Structure 1
């Protein structure tokens, strides 16, 4: 009888030790997970913010950030997939919830992915407050280029901050270094006596992209110190450019023409699509301007209008530098 009691006590002791060991392992795993998670503090357009990394559910709506997040392998739970060019791999990922275009967004559906991080901006900028209401526990990040700040350094700030948030500082630095190197190539090769015209091709027409304020092309006049061939009053940031006659463009006789082909990004599959290069070559009024005669027309990458991030500008600047260097 005593022997049986001793056996039972021994078995209970072994079971207790096993449970203690299991509990210890579980606690250790929990402690490890707690140690893996950490908080990153950064500054965006609204001020200082914090987010726990790695984020569990990431939403992205800012076109300027899509290529960067894609390159870095950041998994999205939701995003403005409808606004992404097909050069971004997210467009082929059926697991990403599409929030739709900025004009008819499906904002309420964001609650289904329970985001803790929303990279918001550009076409979705006006929806920031709604996101804060729908996902109160999420950190909503805004990194749009700020008015009054140099556009080139704002692009660098954006990618550098994203590098902090996603712990991709080295990758962010590489993007900034490549961008600055491309800028230097242009400024080293460009003769400030040569005049430049910025244009936007949209709807089969050519619009004027004003220095500084014009969509996409305009900011480059500032950070590349380009000499405008034409300056008009009351210019705008319109995505189709300002209405300026081809005769006025021809009269300004630019040495170089930079074109953003909006339709290449949003209407290239349409039967009425006319590439920017064709519009320029088929315009009688522009046949005799210096830029056309010398072949000094540089068209930005086809997906520029929906992919205006630092990589797009770097690609274009290198192509512009190639043309400038070849013209010497």
Structure 2
């Protein structure tokens, strides 16, 4: 794209020189020269910025982008895959599956969302700040501290389908960083995985989603629950159990293991929160917790081995790449059950 722009500019500039030379031969050529110059200026201006619409409205980012601060969990893996240079990051929140980014001490570290060092963003003097998820609550403060920067935030909106929101996120990042083809590839992969999971589901088998944290099993509600909730809508899963006042709590809703067992799901979807964060006292791998739970021994999903465990970094890496992996993993489980 840059090569094309430079070629166009050179052609326009060349045309301007020819017209300038002709101006001494007759009147009226001066106006043509002026028009060519104006056209060149317009082309140059268009090439020096990009406008996107985030959760707050239209945002214009000046180019080239020479310094970027990234605070959004969903964006780390995408930008790392695209080799986008990062000046400042919430490195303590970077998934452990991205060690080169997480451990790069040349990148100023904002820390985590609980006690962030927002002055590190100021020190990095970013032109662009990619915020979202855990850092949303600091957006206004960050913008006040960095008036020279444009802050964008594409956190999935609660009243919109998750597939559309994940697509919106990656497509806008692609537009900002001139990676539109790469973004489209991620969208295509996601849509294929979603369709595969839909095709593999029989429409009747009951499904239960849970979150394991600190050795405890929490209930992940359809529609609103962490990570898996929206998949009930996207795939059309039949819930094994529904409760009143369900939430999106990061540990899942408090419900007895016996109640989960009584619902006897045909399939279980498991999120291991501890695998993605520093393990604390009492934490165990989700697989161990599920398989060693006496109340769950007789559950159809456990007996038949129809339990899907999300990638270990999911809790801190819920982007379109992660969801593509989850959907393909679920499809594997569903397809295997049909054989």
Is TM > 0.5 for Structure 1 vs Structure 2? Answer: yes
Could you tell me which of 40, 43, 49 is aligned with 1:39?
A: 49
- Measured after TM superposition, the shift of residue 273 of structure 1 is 3.1
Residue 69 of structure 1 corresponds to 79
* 1:199 corresponds to 2:179: no
Residues 85 and 265, structure 1, Cα contact 8 Å, conserved in 2: yes
Larger radius of gyration, structure 1 or 2? Answer: 1
- Measured after TM superposition, the shift of residue 37 of structure 1 is 5.7
Q: Could you give the per-residue CA deviations for residues 161-201 of structure 1, whole angstroms, max 9, x where no partner exists?
A: 10000010000000000001001110000011001001000
- Measured after TM superposition, the shift of residue 91 of structure 1 is 0.9
Structure 2: how far apart are the matches of 1:168 and 1:120? 19
Could you tell me which of 96, 103, 106 is aligned with 1:86?
A: 96
Structure 1: how far apart are the matches of 2:181 and 2:120? 34
* 1:299 corresponds to 2:309: yes
SS for the counterpart of 1:224 is helix
Residue 326 of structure 2 corresponds to 316
Structure 2: how far apart are the matches of 1:295 and 1:153? 32
- Measured after TM superposition, the shift of residue 54 of structure 1 is 2.7
Structure 2: how far apart are the matches of 1:116 and 1:248? 51
Could you tell me which of 125, 132, 137 is aligned with 1:114?
A: 125
SS for the counterpart of 1:118 is strand
- Measured after TM superposition, the shift of residue 112 of structure 1 is 1.1
Residues 211 and 252, structure 2, Cα contact 8 Å, conserved in 1: yes
- Measured after TM superposition, the shift of residue 36 of structure 1 is 10
Structure 2: how far apart are the matches of 1:267 and 1:61? 19
Alignment of 1:132-211 (within 5 A): 132-211=143-222
Alignment of 1:213-252 (within 5 A): 213-252=224-263
Residues 37 and 54, structure 1, Cα contact 8 Å, conserved in 2: no
Structure 2: how far apart are the matches of 1:286 and 1:196? 14
Residues 37 and 52, structure 1, Cα contact 8 Å, conserved in 2: no
Structure 2: how far apart are the matches of 1:54 and 1:87? 29
Residues 214 and 281, structure 2, Cα contact 8 Å, conserved in 1: no
Structure 1: how far apart are the matches of 2:214 and 2:111? 23
TM-score, normalised to structure 1, is: 0.87
Which range moves more in the overlay, 49-58 or 72-81? 49-58
Structure 2: how far apart are the matches of 1:103 and 1:169? 33
Residues 197 and 327, structure 2, Cα contact 8 Å, conserved in 1: yes
Query: Aligned pairs, how many?
Result: 295
SS for the counterpart of 1:173 is helix
Structure 2: how far apart are the matches of 1:188 and 1:45? 33
Supply the RMSD in Å over aligned alpha carbons.
1.5
SS for the counterpart of 1:260 is strand
TM-score, normalised to structure 2, is: 0.85
Structure 2: how far apart are the matches of 1:133 and 1:216? 32
Residue 131 of structure 1 corresponds to 142
Unaligned runs of 5+ in 1: 1-30
